[in-house]
Amino acid sequence: MDVKTADGPAFDAFAASCPSRRLLDTIGNKWASLVIVALGLEGRMRYSELSARIAGVSQKMLTQTLRGLERDGLLTRTVTPSVPVRVDYELTPLGLSLLGTIRHLKEWAEAHMAEVDRAREEYDRNSA
């Protein structure tokens, strides 16, 4: 997280240049992580399949998300110039390695979110 151990305003971690920050900006995105997980499961999907699979996403957000992930080298976009056009998306090796990282998050969540829920109830009860 780019923590400065020296004195001064310390963290520059939130700066756009911090790798961790940029990673969180990516996977913290509501749709990006869903796209990655979907492609991780299916291996390769068409635009319309992704659209159907990820409930609630608008075309705009799906396209925007896919472009971003493509730009980051996390997935590839393949156009087959048939009629009508066919476009397939697939994770790159880089994208697959990130999928592994996301799974770690998932495991923490499944193991500990119940505890978080209990803490919330407790907190809300005491502050009501």
Partner DNA sequence: CAGCATCCACCAAGATACTG
Partner DNA sequence: CAGTATCTTGGTGGATGCTG
Residues that bind DNA in the complex, under the rule CB under 7 A? 29-30, 46-49, 56-61, 63, 66-67, 77, 84-87
**Cis peptide, bond prior to residue 84, ω within 30 of zero:** yes
Nearest residue to 72 via CA among 43, 35, 44? 35
Which residues form the interface with a copy of itself (CB under 8 A)? 1, 3, 9-14, 19-25, 27-31, 33-34, 37-38, 41, 52-56, 70-74, 94, 97-98, 101, 104-106, 108-110, 112-113, 115-116, 118-120, 122-124
Tell me the two tokens of residue 39. Answer: 């492609």
Query: In the complex with DNA, which residue's Cβ is closer, 67 or 118?
Result: 67
Q: Which of DNA, a copy of itself, none interacts with 96 (beta carbon under 5 to 8 A by kind)?
A: none
Is the CB of residue 71 less than 8 Å from the CB of residue 25?
no
Report the C-alpha gap between 28 and 49 in whole angstroms. 23
Query: In the complex with a copy of itself, which residue's Cβ is closer, 25 or 86?
Result: 25
Number of residues assigned to the chain: 128
Q: Which of a copy of itself, DNA, none interacts with 101 (beta carbon under 5 to 8 A by kind)?
A: a copy of itself
